[in-house]
Amino acid sequence: MGRRPCCDKVGLKRGTWSVEEDQKLTNFILCNGIKCWRHVPKLAGLLRCGKSCRLRWMNYLRPDLKRGAFSEAEEDQLVELHSRLGNRWSKIAAFFPGRTDNEIKNHWNTRIKKKLNLLGPDPQGGEPPIEQGENRDAEEGGGDIDVDQKLAENPVSKVETRLDHGHSCSDHNTSTKASREDSDAGWSTFPSLTDLQFDSCLSRSSMEKYVLQEDCSGSYWIDDYVDSLLSWDGINFNNLE
DNA sequence: AATGTTTACAACCGCAGTTCG
DNA sequence: GCGAACTGCGGTTGTAAACAT
């Protein structure tokens, strides 16, 4: 028996995504939303597996991604959260709107881990977490923080409130047009989308409407926009496969 | 300038959890 | 209740850019 692989790898492309592929995937999702990743590559005309498409969208193309370097405040909070949650990157990422679990994991492994090693084995006076998962059960039995509850109580993390991005609405207007390379400025909405030529389905001006709304409210979340992605009306799945 | 090494990050893999028929 | 399909997560690998020699 056994599981069917997520995709048969024959004839499927792997490795770095091209601009054209990004464009196809982005356009498709912006037009149709996300319902079934397995069908996305076929419908979008991509030679990728659904899993790969999902990863690309989640970690790179999603318009609500923040990108850019981590601030010291963010690093502080990451260290704090990691000491409590361990390698549960998705839980940690929930505290960093606009950051992906992959991004946080990478940042931890490449920079913070090194920093902490330089500072010594126990920089916080506490046992480094759960790395092997042994603390996890004990944690969940009692001392663990309830992430969902914490988020509900404190939806805007202290990092967000501490960060000063130094961007006014007008600043942001220009940043939306900035290229991906500008991401080090600490703010870059629609990092990849800005470089893309959009089809008829969603004009750049309508995208910017969301950006401006987001910016002026001080929130990184653009719920209306994201919600709009979740509708798959008009797609007929019956003829697939 | 050429080559080797390191760093940072994108992408893949495999497993676990969830959903659905 | 069961198994297949699907999604999400965390660990690991690949690779391009940056840096050192």
Task: Determine how many CB atoms are found less than 10 A away from the CB of residue A17.
Answer: 21
Residues 57-116 of A with CB under 7 A from strand B: 59-60, 69, 102-103, 105-107, 109-111, 114
Residue A155 CB burial class (10 angstroms; 0-12, 13-18, ≥19): exposed
SS3 call for A106: helix
Across all strands, nucleotide nearest A34 (CA–C1'): C7
DSSP character at residue A209: H
A200 touches strand B (CB under 7 A): no
State which fold the A68-117 domain adopts. Answer: Arc Repressor Mutant, subunit A (1.10.10)
Q: For the segment A113-170, what is each residue's pLDDT rounded down to a tens digit?
A: 777 766 665 444 334 443 433 343 334 333 344 554 554 444 444 433 333 333 333 3
Region A7-63: CATH code: 1.10.10.60
Residues forming CATH 1.10.10.60 domain(s) in chain A: 7-63, 68-117
- Separation CA A160–CA A142 (nearest Å): 28
With 50 as the cut, is the pLDDT of residue A201 above it?
no
- Separation CA A198–CA A23 (nearest Å): 8
Q: For the segment A7-17, what is each residue's pLDDT rounded down to a tens digit?
A: 555 678 888 88
pTM: 0.66
Across all strands, nucleotide nearest A3 (CA–C1'): C4
pLDDT confidence of residue A211: 37
